[in-house]
Copies of this chain bind each other. A is one copy, B any other.
Amino acid sequence: MDQVKMGTRVTPCPMPVTLVGTKVEGRVNFMAVAWIARVNNKPPIWGAGIAKRHFTMKGIHENREFSINFPTAEMITETDYCGLGSGSKIDKSDVFDVFYGALEGAPMIAGCPLAIECRVHDVVDMPTNYLVLGEVVEAYSEERFLTDDRLDIKKANPVVLTMPDNRYWTVGEHVADAWEAGKYFRP
């Protein structure tokens, strides 16, 4: 075997790039978050691992509501900016055009191919992070990102992140179809 030990501090290869939206003391804030996944089927619940000290946690504790927004590659500069500084020091309320759905505590970003508003289902206390679990109230896109009423990844042009090289990437070529490619394989 040619395995090389990589230590324990690796990350998913790659991670989706999102912006978590909150209202903190009445002000809109966005934080770049890549430690995020859907975690429950019915109802649809998502989980995000957010460091306890983060300003975003104040808004989540305060309102028990937040949003998850998937920016396009064209929005990468603004997205990265939201990952560089804390909302406790810089006002990020003007970085994006904001819209709301049903939840006042879940500001969403106009121009994102996917934006979802969530109500807190639970907050799991982890050693250094909170694992914030949010139930989806509604998801939003725009016509220009859809083909036949479905999100079209090539129109959406989302971004993924790799670490430790700290690089953002687009989604590339279609490899195969899921729940299909393996049908005729037998080991």
A140, B6: Cβ atoms closer than 8 Å: yes
Instruction: Report the bound CA distance from A47 to B131 in whole Å.
Output: 9
Interface string of A104-118 (1 = CB under 8 A from B): 000000100111100
**Given known contacts A168-B181, A185-B81, A12 and B35 CB-to-CB distance under 8 angstroms:** no
Q: When chains A and B are docked, how far (Å) is the Cα of A174 from the Cα of B171?
A: 10
Give the number of chain A interface residues (Cβ < 8 Å).
105
Mask of A122-163 contacts with B, CB within 8 angstroms, 1/0:
101011110101001111111110100011110010111111
Does A26 lie at the interface of the complex (its beta carbon under 8 Å from any beta carbon of B)? no
Q: Could you tell me the distance in whole angstroms from the C-beta of A95 to the nearest C-beta in chain B?
A: 5
A126 near B39 with CB under 8 A, answer yes
Chain B residues near A173 (CB-CB < 8 A):
169-170, 172
B14–A171 CB distance below 8 A = yes
| Chain A window 83-101, contacts with chain B (Cβ cutoff 8 Å), 1 for yes, 0 for no | 1100000001011000101
